[in-house]
Structure 1
């Protein structure tokens, strides 16, 4: 009976830790954020509205304290939040006209090749990179992506938005103020049908299938490297040299070899989908990946940083069964040895 009481105490303390302490600690270290949202217009509407609410509450708090300087600063923040909410609403509303159109891929080929190939390569269509990575990074701050797979890995809405205004689409407009401009010019001056045609062309040339590594390479490797290699042992250096990407981003982007372990799947999905949810003001852009492409990116990071996950998870139930059997035999052995004593 004494042993059962001890067991009960251990079980209760374990459950309290598992269901109480651990979730609380996790909530403090990793505050809750909304799930990944691939409807970027809807996502931006929610985040800008929330920003206005927060700024309004800060203004009201400053007014209660009646500090003139704080009131002025809070008023500026509130006005900026309201103005940015309108900017984003107007931006996505205007994009709806483009996304509703049926694009002409043949006409889009002419437009893309005449407007984009001066900076971007399209290797699979015979348009090679005009400069090496180091030269391109020196010219633009970051190596421009090859567009061969853009129609596959990015959502249609995002492609439309990015063509029109890269800074707003990728949520890094806060970086490009006081005369600073995004390295890619916006093409918002184009007719809606022309942008729809360009997107149709990018989708028409994109591959039907891509490996996890190929998606990661096209989505992430311009800035991030894989230092410790994948299951085949190969390492992947970032395409943009360290000195250029550090100057462009403000700091050196992290190596992603072990991020699946240090951050976890849920964090990575929400971070790739919208980095601002976790790090407000970060220089990392919203990547604009489709749900499927994002899953492939995270899966590749798992292949690199946690290749034994499936074996480890398969071993778990077997080990628990072993412990139960061992506990039964231990109890029977104890009972047989102490029966006479009790």
Structure 2
């Protein structure tokens, strides 16, 4: 009977810690942030306009290919990555997959005003300007046409690694890499991306472990929620693309997660069986003492 009382006391204090102390400590160390907004309601987007992809093709080719490649449409990069990074601060993305990766509302807002849409206006003050010029002088319909064109040329399917490469690798590297591809260095050389961002962006090999899936989703969707004033831009990924980015980070940094989670229930069953036999053994040996 004494053992049951001790067990009850341990259980009570454990539950108080688990449901009382730990949630409070977590709330202090990790303040609540609003959930990710994959509709991008706060941006100046398409405004309900439907684009004409044919007209958008002419507009994109006339206004974008001087800096951006569109390999799928036969527009190669105008310079190598190192030269582009030296010119712009960061390697401009290839636009072949942008219509799939980025939310249409965000994409339209980014074309209009890149610094505002990506929430990094605080970086471009005192004469500093965003490497991509604003196109808010265009007619809203023209921007809608450009977005429609980018969506029309986008691939229907992309692997997790392909999404990560197009969405993140211009700034971030994967030092440890996956089992097949090895390490992946950032496309922008360290000296240029450090000057552009203010500090060297972190390697993402183990970020799934150090930050966790929930944090990564809200951070990628809007970095300012977690780190006000951070130089990392709001990327504008669709929910699907963002899930693929996080999934790839998990493939690299926590490849044994599924195996580990499958082992958990088996281990708990083992502990229960072991506890039963331990109690029966103790009862048989100590019966005469009590």
Q: Which residue of 1 aligns with 2:289?
A: 341
Q: Distance in 2 between matches of 1:277 and 1:101?
A: 29
Q: Which residue of 2 aligns with 1:8?
A: 8
- After superposition, what is the alpha-carbon deviation per residue over 1:51-76, rounded to whole angstroms, capped at 9, x for unaligned? xxxxxxxxxxxxxxxxxxxxxxxxxx
Select the residue among 187, 195, 199 that pairs with 1:251.
199
Q: Which residue of 2 aligns with 1:281?
A: 229
Q: Which residue of 2 aligns with 1:141?
A: 89
Q: Distance in 2 between matches of 1:196 and 1:130?
A: 26
Q: Distance in 2 between matches of 1:26 and 1:124?
A: 47
Q: TM-score, normalised by structure 2?
A: 0.97
1:227 aligns with 2:149: no
Tell me by how many angstroms 1:233 deviates: 5.2
Tell me by how many angstroms 1:232 deviates: 2.1
Tell me by how many angstroms 1:194 deviates: 1.1
Q: Distance in 1 between matches of 2:105 and 2:203?
A: 29
Q: Is the 1:273–1:287 contact (alpha carbons within 8 Å) kept by the matching residues of 2?
A: yes
Q: Which residue of 1 aligns with 2:75?
A: 127
Structure 1 gap segments, 5+ residues each? 45-91
- After superposition, what is the alpha-carbon deviation per residue over 1:162-214, rounded to whole angstroms, capped at 9, x for unaligned? 11100111001111111111100011111122111110110000010111111
- After superposition, what is the alpha-carbon deviation per residue over 1:11-33, rounded to whole angstroms, capped at 9, x for unaligned? 12222222222222222221111
- After superposition, what is the alpha-carbon deviation per residue over 1:68-94, rounded to whole angstroms, capped at 9, x for unaligned? xxxxxxxxxxxxxxxxxxxxxxxx2xx
Structure 2 gap segments, 5+ residues each? none
* 3-state SS in 2 of match to 1:135: helix
Select the residue among 109, 132, 156 that pairs with 2:104.
156
Q: Which residue of 2 aligns with 1:21?
A: 21
Q: TM-score, normalised by structure 1?
A: 0.83
Q: Distance in 2 between matches of 1:256 and 1:22?
A: 28
Tell me by how many angstroms 1:295 deviates: 0.7
Q: Which residue of 1 aligns with 2:40?
A: 40
Q: 1:146 to 1:233 in 2, by over 3 A?
A: closer
1:198 aligns with 2:146: yes
Of Structure 1 and Structure 2, which has the larger fraction of its residues in helix? 1
Q: Is the 1:33–1:278 contact (alpha carbons within 8 Å) kept by the matching residues of 2?
A: yes
Q: Distance in 2 between matches of 1:19 and 1:311?
A: 28
